[in-house]
Structure 1
């Protein structure tokens, strides 16, 4: 494969994340609850990835290692719960902005856990990101719909748990084959969701059959494809370009919210998206030009 082929795979992985909010909104419009939507995604995604794992490379793991991987999947389940809860009161184009704050939250994690103080270039890129988020949220244009405090809290919580999951996925049992590792992460996330917000509606066969198409797409796009695509493409294009390409989730979320959900997206929101992408690029230019050891956020992303 050529380099641009690997870049395309990473780009598609980012696009998968961007499409999630639209499918969730469609499921809500069809009358399904947050618990049933989240539960169906984790259930279907876990089934799909375990089927793939049956035919993939595996290694024998001790019980403590299995337990560690299952526990590391807790933030994955919490991210789905928090993010989909935010979508109940926020437009899709706004909810994704709150989730995307994992970029600067990740820098705080690096500073706290690895004592890696952000460089001036990183601080500037974060500032651009925050300004871009304000524009992209639609607050200035007044076209993003109502911004509720509930949606804001749930959205920011999803960003924190997403960052936590990325941190754990890049530091726990690194030598475990990616599909096997992702399957255990996902299983831990599914158990978490089923305990905190039991999707009792799924016990009814008619409801399960009706929501199955939504669960299939959400599981495929949010659980199965991104980690596989990133694992194939990232080693060949480098962490700098890889991080830039995964940010495709933002424009995809905004485009789909406008085309599929008919949500209003103003010129200032598009400007905000451009600023956010510019901030990501500015923060990764040095990394792309110099082959330094990638940070945990760039080594692996498997939500």
Structure 2
């Protein structure tokens, strides 16, 4: 019997698989760090973005007809800024932070970016934050603090725990700033063309960073263990290109709001993967913190009158 899926079902499956693949990012990174002392955030980012670059260039070229108006220098400058901020700088901060904190905590902190976008929008557009949104923000940050303090109690001394936490939070701030730049750019370039261009710029920025910051850059790449290369390419293909494409397909079928709602399962998936592959464990207080964090983010995502960006 032939099974025919509806547009909504296909969009939901795309969002679910996208969330699962994005959630595996920290697992790939942690496993790669464990293979070699020579692997740091800059090296792993170079492998990730270098393997993803050809695909994003193809996406940018294929959807170039989405541009409906002539470009000015300001459009191009904003595009470059958005690409470097959202997918190069934010990602690099996240990769460095994961050297010091668990995958579970990293995902919970990163998941705060919608609250940061709302707070920034309220300042920029001078809009009052409604009571429901305020409660959601308090839930999110309260849950995050619970998880954070519980993990800090078990972190070894001199582990740079607070440095890692600060770097990942800075990554969430950078990504929230990127989101504030995107609405106008999406209208100018078109959603898929913008995605391809912004991520291509991020890939190029990452590679430039690697070659400028790494002595004997080519030699290091050649001598890396094969396992590191596999994790790096896996990050590029399965944790960057494929989930980005699936998310694009989900948004096209469901809209951004419903896709974001399904993506809220991401932190739970990351925690389960961390338990399976990294031997991480959460106590009851940490699970409570996760529930509060996700509940708050869902309240913001499902808000019928979100703050305009």
TM-score, L = length of structure 1: 0.84
CA RMSD of aligned residues (A): 2.7
Which residue matches 1:300?
Answer: none
CA drift of 1:243 comes to: 2.2
Following superposition of structure 1 onto structure 2, how do residues 272-287 of structure 1 map, counting pairs within 5 Å?
272-287=289-304
CA drift of 1:97 comes to: 2.2
| C-alpha contact 1:53 1:180 (8 A) present in aligned 2 | yes
| C-alpha contact 1:19 1:249 (8 A) present in aligned 2 | no
CA drift of 1:196 comes to: 4.2
3-state secondary structure, aligned to 2:128: coil
> Which residue among 93, 99, 102 is the counterpart of 2:110?
99
Q: Is the aligned partner of 1:255 residue 2:262?
A: no
> Which residue among 199, 203, 213 is the counterpart of 1:190?
203
Q: Is the aligned partner of 1:47 residue 2:38?
A: no
Alpha carbons of structure 1 residues 58 and 238: separation in structure 2 relative to 1, 3 Å: closer
Gaps of 5+ in 1: 297-303
| C-alpha contact 1:100 1:159 (8 A) present in aligned 2 | yes
Q: What is the count of residue pairs matched by the alignment?
A: 291
Gaps of 5+ in 2: 1-5
Question: C-alpha deviations, 1:186-220, integer Å up to 9, x for none?
Answer: 23223333444546465235246833322222122
Alpha carbons of structure 1 residues 249 and 202: separation in structure 2 relative to 1, 3 Å: farther
Question: C-alpha deviations, 1:26-55, integer Å up to 9, x for none?
Answer: 11011122211011111112122224445x
> Which residue among 164, 168, 191 is the counterpart of 1:151?
164
TM-score, L = length of structure 2: 0.82
CA drift of 1:105 comes to: 0.9
CA distance in 2: counterparts of 1:86 and 1:284, whole angstroms: 26
Question: C-alpha deviations, 1:63-88, integer Å up to 9, x for none?
Answer: 73444422321112001110011011
CA distance in 1: counterparts of 2:229 and 2:236, whole angstroms: 10
Which residue matches 1:171?
Answer: 184
Q: Is the aligned partner of 1:89 residue 2:96?
A: no
> Which residue among 137, 145, 164 is the counterpart of 1:126?
137
